[in-house]
């Protein structure tokens, strides 16, 4: 990932971007206030109400949310507080966590395998892809999953699941020529028991709209296989419609949890903020990208912190732990102590960082990251590829000691990598900035923290 100087293109719209920006702007007016009046609270609530309604949050949900904050914000816990402005922000944060579900809701397992998960939802909501993502996640936890193709209506639905399963090396159960999804599901359970699969994920058919035929079929599958959990996938980009769909499915067949897909493309956030209140069912997972490992358990407290610009340090640490090789990290620490950080190490660090996911999502997890500042940073993914080409065009001696790369060497490297001399200059400058940045982190004290503000991100 390489920051573009010429601002060639903008980020994809980030999760809750519009809502987050407006809410942060509103609560920041309160921050540091030594005195808070009822009028201050009233003005703040008006802005929060408008921001939530514009984000397509259900009207009743907005009304209840604002009333709860207003009631607490004009009470003694704020008016008699030494830091009333901060206290109001704390109340907004707590109520937002409550709205999103309060505590994370994890999927459950049966005491006797296999555990059966039945995925339901409208056509195009992302059930098939999520089946693979869920199977992949559970396999990493030591489980042995089986995907089951029960969508016998949509053209190429079975093939799509087989492709997903093939990419992840997860087996797929299907019955060629059989058009009865209840029979397929029942036979899949028998197959799983005989082959000792401990997880069965059933991908059911969807429709473009809710109808009685769809619901009857899902009820028949439910009665036949008695799933541990029925998980509803809904497309977050459909906003309030996603909440209506969730409510209908819950009333007609009963669901145990909701998976919000395409959250990375939803700038409004209404579905995530409404679904728990309307259905009473928790959001269990958030689909945050198209790759088959782009799945996150849904943590209400972390999501509330992200929305309000308080960062999400825990998720940031988890992503780093998953992406970074511990042995490499120890080797890197040793090299830094001995002042042996080279361009090869720089490239390794960029590649490790890339594994953590899109940089805009990573930036959103940093506490205090102003959404306007974040949105002004433009990323050109192709420049990372150019950076690799430039480093690979250097000799081993040049990569180890970049200070020897003079004018003639820069021209040779640019020609060899198919880039311009300016690109080579930029890379070398960024490398030096990275060395300074790492050195600052290494000796981080009060002075170090202050100095950190002088550096720009070098990638």
CATH number for 27: 1.20.120.140
Residue 446 pLDDT level (bands cut at 50, 70, 90):
very low
Q: In which domain, by residue range, is 433 found?
A: 315-364+381-452
Tell me the pLDDT of the chain averaged across its residues. 79
The reply to whether 80 and 130 lie within a common domain is no
Q: Is 0.85 surpassed by the pTM of this model?
A: no
Structure tokens, 37: 């009046």
Q: Are residues 276 and 189 in the same domain?
A: yes
67 Cβ neighbours under 8 A, 6+ residues apart: none
Considering just the CA atoms, what is the radius of gyration of the chain in Å? 26
Q: Does pLDDT of 8 surpass 50?
A: no
Domain total for the chain? 3
| Co-location of 119 and 262 in the same domain | yes
Q: Would you say residue 259 lies in a domain? A: yes
- 25-29, 250-254, 382-386: lowest mean pLDDT where? 382-386
376 domain residue, yes or no: no
Strands of 403-453 (E only): list them.
Answer: none
Last residue of a domain, one of 100, 123, 146: 100
Each residue's pLDDT tens digit, 54-93: 888 888 999 999 999 988 888 766 666 667 777 888 888 8
| Token pair 């830091």 in the structure block, residue | 83
- Closest by CA to 309, choosing from 362, 359, 369, is 369
* CA distances to 99, 128, 136 from 282, in Å: 10, 21, 22
Residues 45 and 192 occupy one common structural domain: no
Confidence (pLDDT) at 363:
56
In a domain, 2, yes or no: no
Residues 273 and 358 reside in one and the same domain: no
Residue 434: pLDDT over 60 = yes
What's the whole-number mean pLDDT along residues 22-47? 81
Domain boundary among 270, 298, 326: 298
Residues 81 and 128 in one domain: no
Whether residue 209 is contained in a domain is answered as yes
pLDDT at 308: 78
**Residue 371 located in a structural domain:** no
260 and 357 co-located in one domain: no
**Residue 62 structure tokens:** 């907005």
Does any domain span residue 107? Answer: no
Instruction: Choose the final residue of a domain: 246, 268, 298.
Output: 298
- What backbone torsions phi and psi does residue 257 show, to the nearest 5 degrees? -175, 165
What value does the mean pLDDT take over residues 377-403?
Answer: 80
Greater confidence (225 vs 322) lies with: 225
Same structural domain for residues 205 and 291? yes
> Do 427 and 323 belong together in one domain?
yes
Residue 109, pLDDT score? 96
User: Could you tell me if 233 and 283 are in contact, meaning their C-beta atoms sit under 8 angstroms apart?
Assistant: no
What is the rounded CA–CA span in Å between residue 91 and residue 100?
14
Q: Residue 187 maps to which CATH number? A: 3.40.50.300
Q: Are strands 172-173 and 145-149 parallel, antiparallel or unpaired?
A: parallel
The answer to whether residue 237 sits within a structural domain is yes
Q: Indicate the pLDDT class of residue 439, thresholds 50, 70 and 90.
A: low
pLDDT of 153 strictly over 80: yes
Q: Is the pLDDT of residue 214 over 50?
A: yes
Q: Are residues 124 and 264 in the same domain?
A: yes
Cα separation, 177 vs 194, whole angstroms: 22
Are residues 240 and 210 in contact, defined by beta-carbon separation less than 8 angstroms?
A: no
Residue 12 domain flag:
no
Kindly state whether residues 141 and 271 are assigned to the same domain.
yes
Q: Is the pLDDT of residue 330 over 80?
A: no
For 286-346, give the DSSP string: EE-SSSTT-EEE--HHHHHHHHTT---HHHHHHHHHHHS-HHHHHHHHHHHHTT---HHHH
Do 357 and 264 belong to one domain?
A: no
| Rounded CA separation 194/197 (Å) | 8
């Amino acid at each position: 990932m390489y920051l573009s100087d010429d601002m060639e293109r903008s980020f994809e719209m980030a999760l809750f971007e519009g809502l987050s920006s407006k809410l942060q702007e509103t609560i920041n007016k309160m921050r540091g206030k030594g005195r808070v009046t009822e009028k201050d609270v009233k003005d703040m609530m008006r802005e929060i109400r408008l921001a939530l309604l514009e984000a397509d949050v259900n009207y009743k949900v907005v009304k209840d949310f604002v009333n709860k904050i207003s009631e607490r914000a004009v009470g003694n816990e704020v008016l008699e507080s030494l830091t009333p402005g901060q206290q109001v922000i704390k109340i907004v944060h707590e109520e937002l966590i409550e709205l999103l579900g309060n505590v994370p809701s994890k999927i459950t397992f049966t005491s006797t395998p296999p555990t059966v998960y039945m995925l339901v939802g409208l056509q195009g909501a992302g059930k098939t892809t999520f089946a693979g993502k869920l199977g992949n996640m559970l396999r990493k936890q030591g489980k042995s999953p089986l995907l089951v193709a029960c969508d016998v209506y949509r053209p190429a639905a079975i093939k799509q699941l087989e492709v997903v399963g093939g990419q992840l090396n997860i087996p797929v159960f299907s019955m060629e020529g059989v058009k009865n999804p209840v029979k397929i599901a029942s036979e899949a359970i028998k197959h799983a028991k005989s082959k000792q699969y401990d997880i069965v994920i059933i991908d059911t058919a969807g429709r473009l709209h809710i109808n009685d035929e769809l619901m009857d079929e899902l009820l028949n599958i439910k009665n036949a296989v008695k799933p541990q959990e029925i998980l509803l996938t809904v497309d977050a980009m459909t906003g309030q419609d996603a909440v209506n769909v969730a409510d209908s499915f819950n009333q007609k067949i009963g669901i145990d949890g909701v998976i919000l897909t395409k959250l990375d493309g939803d700038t409004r956030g209404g579905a995530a903020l409404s679904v728990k209140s309307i259905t009473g069912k928790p959001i269990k997972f958030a689909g945050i990208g198209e790759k088959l490992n782009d799945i996150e358990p849904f943590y209400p407290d972390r999501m509330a912190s992200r929305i309000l610009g308080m960062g999400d340090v825990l998720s940031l640490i988890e992503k780093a732990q998953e992406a970074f090789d511990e042995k490499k990290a120890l080797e890197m620490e040793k090299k830094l102590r001995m002042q042996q950080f080279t361009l090869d190490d720089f490239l390794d660090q960029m590649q490790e960082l890339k594994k953590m996911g899109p940089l805009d999502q990573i930036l959103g997890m940093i506490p205090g990251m102003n959404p306007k500042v974040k949105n002004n940073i433009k990323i050109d993914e192709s420049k990372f590829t150019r950076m690799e080409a430039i480093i690979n065009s250097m000799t081993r001696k040049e990569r180890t000691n970049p200070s020897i790369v003079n004018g003639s060497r820069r021209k040779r490297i640019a020609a060899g990598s198919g880039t311009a001399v300016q690109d080579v200059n930029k890379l070398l400058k960024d490398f030096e900035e990275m060395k300074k940045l790492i050195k600052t982190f290494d000796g981080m004290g009060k002075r170090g923290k202050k100095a950190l503000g002088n550096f720009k991100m070098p990638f």
